[in-house]
Amino acid sequence: MTRAYLRPTGFVESPFGLDGQLMRLAGGLLWFSSIELTLDGDDGRSVNLLPVAEIDRALDELSGTTQDQARAAWSNLTAPRAAIELGERTIRLDQPQILGILNVTPDSFSDGGQFDAGGDPAEAGFAMAAAGAAIVDVGGESTRPGAQPVWEGDEIERVLPVVQRLAGSGTAVSLDTRKAGVMEAALAVAPVMINDVSALTFDTRSIEVVARATCPIVLMHHQGPPETMQQSPHYDRPVLLEVYDWLAERIDAAAAAGIDRSRLLVDPGIGFGKSVQHNLQLINGLSLLHGLGCPIMFGASRKRFIGALSGEAPADQRLGGSVALAVKGADQGAQLLRVHDVPETVQALRVWRGLRDAALTPL
């Protein structure tokens, strides 16, 4: 079977005076003028760049399931994304939002052990929200390259008090876990979004827990477990296409289990079973993932490849690269930007938003 992939490109600052030549991306603040249409099948791969005005004609020339799949992706590219509902909190996704990383772990790659010598992780979460984070992502297990699994009971003990305090104060909370028991413990005390780096594959019960809870869920691509994922990662096809297809399968699996598609978000999993080149290719082509019809969460903050591109800078010296990548994500329509450095990224995003607002204001 030949598969079709539609990547929006040719982004334009202002739509005024360009009727019929632009389309709005996922109901957000970006407008695109072109589609990179990739056809990939047993007889080879072709790539064509088409103006949006020619897309219907190009799709008419496709046949059977290839055309059906392409038309579904085209519809997904322009459909608005549903807001994230967390109790009384509503996070709109018609603009990029910040998700602040709050690790209560002894061994996370850049901020593990930050509370070992004292300090209150919940207060750190409050500070992130005050600085402009729409959601605070609480994690109790490191999934850095080489990390070993944490016992479920230890993970619950780490995250539950923090989740309770944050949610109890009205802060929107995400829980970074791949274990059903941890999900159940948190969902019993607060409305949380589940952020599962295994895309509901690590724990056989997790998909049932999420389906029953009717909570939002982030499905992240990965290749292999944290213990081995960075040992010579390899893809047989372009990494962007493989990640797209893998996420499409996980979306279908979640839907088949009774999870409404409006509750699903996707994450390309930067650094999870990817080389530096894989990461860069995914980031350059990130807008392709809008064809899946789900909001995109993009997390490249302080990742190792930033150091590889900047003289092996250690994790705590990767602020500039992290902010640059967050803006790159916003430029491709990512709805959630997962970051460690909330105030600095919020400031960058406010400048980005100011530029967008100026471009979208008629003269």
> Of the ranges 139-153, 247-261, 304-318, which one carries the lowest mean pLDDT score?
139-153
Q: Which of the following is catalytic: 144, 165, 263, 303?
A: 303
Q: What is the pTM of this model?
A: 0.95
Cα→Cα distances 168→59, 89, 121, 126, Å: 50, 12, 14, 11
State the pLDDT confidence band at 337, using cuts at 50, 70 and 90: very high
Per the annotation, the verdict on 261 as an active-site residue is no
Mean predicted lDDT score pLDDT of the chain: 94
State the pLDDT confidence band at 114, using cuts at 50, 70 and 90: low
**What pLDDT sits at residue 112?**
47
State the pLDDT confidence band at 199, using cuts at 50, 70 and 90: very high
Q: Which domains does the chain have, with CATH numbers?
A: 3-78 (no CATH), 84-359 (3.20.20.20)
Q: How far is residue 96's CA from residue 348's CA, in Å, rounded to a whole number?
A: 12
Q: At 98, which helix (H) or strand (E)?
A: strand 97-103
pLDDT at 118 > cutoff 60: no
pLDDT at 105 > cutoff 50: yes
SS (HEC) of 4-17: EEEEEEEEECCCCC
State the pLDDT confidence band at 262, using cuts at 50, 70 and 90: very high
Q: CA-CA-CA-CA torsion for 198, 203, 206, 208, nearest 10 degrees?
A: 130
Q: How far is residue 155's CA from residue 105's CA, in Å, rounded to a whole number?
A: 9
| Total Cβ atoms within 10 A of residue 318 | 24
In terms of DSSP bridges, do strands 135-139 and 173-176 run parallel, antiparallel, or are they unpaired? parallel
Q: What is the pLDDT averaged over residues 279-284? A: 98
Q: What is the pLDDT averaged over residues 294-322? A: 95
Q: Which of the following is catalytic: 144, 263, 338, 356?
A: 338
Per the annotation, the verdict on 328 as an active-site residue is no
